[in-house]
Amino acid sequence: MTELQIVEKIRILASRPETGGEKRPPAPPTLELGIGDDCAIFRPRPNQDLLFTSDQMLEGVHFKKFHPAASVGERALARSLSDIAAMGGEPRFCLVSLSAPSEDWIIDFYRGLLRLARRTGTTLAGGDLAHSKRVYCDVTVCGAVAKGKALRRDGAGPGDQICVSGRLGKPWDRRIQPRLKLGQSLVGLATACMDLSDGLSLDLHRLCVASGVAAEIDRVPLAPGVTLERALHGGEDYELLFTLPPAVAAPRGTTRIGTVVDGTHGAVRCQGRPLTPRGWDHFRR
């Protein structure tokens, strides 16, 4: 099969009204032209800010050869959607570049990716394909948020409550549920927000550095059967970490874990002791 034929197969998959009984949300009216030309054309609405994020998935680094192609595809999109959620945005479209060993693998990958795309209203607008022995993919997602309202990492102030969604330390290969609705509900409420992709200890440290503050945490909601150590330092939770002004109640499904304080920028204390940022870092040796 030629690349053009595979692209055509993906285009048909992406334009099918339903797959596996799941309804496809209407295509956002802002995507003027999708798969098939040299570029996609996107026309943003006035009074919107656009959000862009991209994430790579490498075989042997982010997943193993034995992981099913459909779940790799779903996960590849979910990781980028989690970044859109962290900024309080709504996803609009994605661009997917993929190198893989076979046509079957590519089609299964897209089936998994498109399932999540449909559930979240993300249009597959284009991308690139190549043949390689090892799988490599890169997913770029564009999202939108009301002008000037995106949630950022740098707004936390002393006295703010520190909160997380869900429970932390979950096993690596579970399904990621990007917290899009929660992120959108935090717009105008949260003073800072990010997603937990590399572990609470490292991500909270990053949020504190960006905001020029320190943090004290006293409890962490644990996933069933995991240790506090794992919940603090294990990566890939894809929950939201956010700060709220003192008087605002934490939304349902979220837990207050501590307080933002004045102090050395980025310093985090857990149950009274300094917490070393030891989450996932690709370049740490």
237 binds Mg ion (CB under 5 A): no
CA separation for the pair 204, 231 (Å, rounded): 13
CA separation for the pair 177, 247 (Å, rounded): 28
55 binds Mg ion (CB under 5 A): no
Choose which of 55, 59, 83, 203 interacts with Mg ion (CB under 5 A): 83
Structure tokens at 279: 């989450």
- Identify which range of 109-117, 162-170, 195-203, 246-254 contacts Mg ion by CB under 5 A: 195-203
Between 195 and 216, CB nearer to Mg ion: 195
How buried is 78 (Cβ within 10 angstroms: 0-12 exposed, 13-18 middle, 19+ buried)?
buried
- Identify which range of 91-99, 172-180, 191-199, 246-254 contacts Mg ion by CB under 5 A: 191-199
β-strand partners of 141? 53, 94
Number of chain positions touching Mg ion (CB under 5 A): 3
216 binds Mg ion (CB under 5 A): no
Choose which of 195, 198, 203, 216 interacts with Mg ion (CB under 5 A): 195
Between 1 and 61, CB nearer to Mg ion: 61
160 binds Mg ion (CB under 5 A): no
Helices assigned H by DSSP within 180-241: 180-186, 200-211, 228-233
Work out how close the CB of 86 gets to Mg ion at its nearest, in angstroms, rounded to a whole number.
5
Query: Quick check: 226 and 169 in contact, CB under 8 A?
Result: yes
Between 161 and 197, CB nearer to Mg ion: 197
Which is nearest to 200 in space by CA: 270, 249, 283, 272? 270
Interface residues with Mg ion (CB under 5 A) are: 83, 195, 197
